[in-house]
Amino acid sequence: MNENTSSKRTISPGKKREDGRLDGLMRPQQLDEFTGQERLKANLSILIEAAKARQESLDHVLFHGPPGLGKTTLAHVVANEMNVNIRITAGPAIERAGDLAAILTNMRAGDILFIDEVHRLGRAVEEILYPAMEDFVLDIVVGKGPGAKNVRLKLPKFTVIGATTRLALLTAPLRARFGALYRMDFYEQAAIESIVTRGAGILQVPIEPAGATEIALRSRGTPRVALRLLRRVRDYAEVRATGEITEETAVAALNLLEIDELGLDDLDRRVLSAIIEKFGGGPVGLDTIGASISEESDTIMDVVEPYLLQLGFLERTARGRVATPHAYAHLDVPLPQHHAVAKPNQPSLFTAASEPDEDEE
């Protein structure tokens, strides 16, 4: 993925350096403080209460879904609910099997090991993790050549919480080791408004309900994006307005950032415009779209496409991506003839021909 392009976008769901300073301040600490994902929370609360009642360590948990939805936050919430320590790492950070062995040997009973982007673990590291998750043992080879010996170390019962944005890239053996798999979906409008209002209270900035609604509308259903937009609107309100986030202030600030009422930014509109204007609405492949706008195809697939699919602006077909009539309407482009709706009285190809009338006989 083109990291430079993704990091420059205000509405990028990926974590930025500026987000880290306030993540701890705005992060919910308990499950009842976590807004949204109601079905996931209900299932997770049952899992936690059952483990606490049996005085056992929690089963291994995997959170998957688009970035910015709160997978890391939920891992911290689970640790707080279980009243245990949490150790945080990432798949790319564990380069050698020895790195993982060092982490595991320092785990205590009941502790949680949170692995972000778990699908990016190396194969050698995964082989060490399999017996550790299943049998709570660590197999280490000591020495080399004919004198090498296999040493098995017992580990305390701990919990692995994995997070991934690409579930399909997770190997089947690793996925099977997780006892509970939870998908995180984009948030509803009301949930995002509640998150924005709570964030404004933590930042001690006055906000009107209409201002929170406007920010939520353009946040793409992603809490991380909503809180980032809140900070940008707060800056605008303090410099160009009275300091209070009103609807007018939010609209002016977000328009200045070129984020429209549906949360689309310049890159989203460039992708849609390329499909419509350069390729007749599609179908067209991702590589071709990326080349036409000088962007990486991975950036389009991982960052741009999911939200456009959610809005119904794009369709995935076997031949490529196709712009829908909703995309034409949003960009105010006339719908071409091949998108015209068939007449109601036009017979289908698979509809049997009707019997002729008696008069025609």
Question: Apex CA 199: angle with CA 194 and CA 205, to 5°?
Answer: 115
SS (H, E, C) 258-277: CCCCCCCCHHHHHHHHHHHH
Average pLDDT over residues 331-354: 58
pTM exceeds cut of 0.75: yes
Per-residue confidence (pLDDT) for residue 26, from 0 to 100:
76
Residue 71 annotated as catalytic:
yes
Q: Which of 9, 71, 218, 234 is catalytic?
A: 71
- In the predicted model, is pLDDT for residue 38 greater than 80? yes
What pLDDT digit, counting tens, does each position of 286-306 carry? Answer: 888 888 888 887 877 877 888
Catalytic residue among 73, 165, 249, 299: 165
Give the end-to-end CA distance of the chain in Å, rounded to a whole number. Answer: 67
Q: What does DSSP assign to residue 88?
A: E
137-152 mean pLDDT: 74
In this predicted structure, what is the pLDDT of residue 229?
Answer: 92
Which of 224, 228, 234, 321 does the annotation list as catalytic? 224
**Is 72 assigned a catalytic role?**
yes
pLDDT tens, residue by residue, 122-135: 888 888 899 898 98
Tens of pLDDT, residue by residue over 92-114, are 898 888 888 889 888 899 899 99
Beta carbons of 166 and 45 less than 8 angstroms apart: no
Catalytic residue among 72, 159, 197, 299: 72
- Mean pLDDT, to the nearest integer, of 318-329? 87
Is the pLDDT at 270 greater than 60? The verdict is: yes
Note the pLDDT of residue 127: 87
How many C-beta atoms surround the C-beta of residue 133 within 10 A? 21
Question: pLDDT (tens digit, 9 = 90+) per residue, 174-191?
Answer: 999 999 999 998 898 999
pLDDT at 151: 74
H helices of the chain, in order, are: 3-8, 17-26, 38-54, 71-82, 97-104, 123-134, 172-177, 189-203, 209-217, 223-240, 247-256, 266-273, 286-293, 297-299, 305-311, 325-330
- The answer, yes or no, to whether residue 344 has pLDDT greater than 60, is no
Given 111, 116, 265, 302, the catalytic residue: 116
Q: Is the pLDDT of residue 23 over 50?
A: yes
Q: How far apart are CA 34 and CA 31, in angstroms?
A: 5
The rounded distance, in Å, linking the Cα atoms of 197 and 69 is 17
- What percentage of the chain exceeds 70 in pLDDT? 85
- pLDDT for residue 361: 44
Q: Which residues pair with 61 in a beta bridge?
A: 161, 180
The residues, ordered by sequence, that sit 6+ positions from 305 with a Cβ below 8 Å of its Cβ are 271, 286, 314, 321
Other CB atoms within a 10 A radius of the CB of residue 21 amount to 8
Question: Which pLDDT value is given to residue 357?
Answer: 52
Per mean pLDDT, which range of 59-63, 116-120, 278-282 is the poorest? Answer: 278-282
What per-residue confidence (pLDDT) applies to 258?
A: 85
Active site residue 224: yes
Per-residue model confidence (pLDDT) at position 143: 65
Give dist(CA 7, CA 90) in Å, integer.
19
**pLDDT reported for residue 47:** 93
51-60 average pLDDT score: 91
The residue-averaged pLDDT of 268-290 equals 85
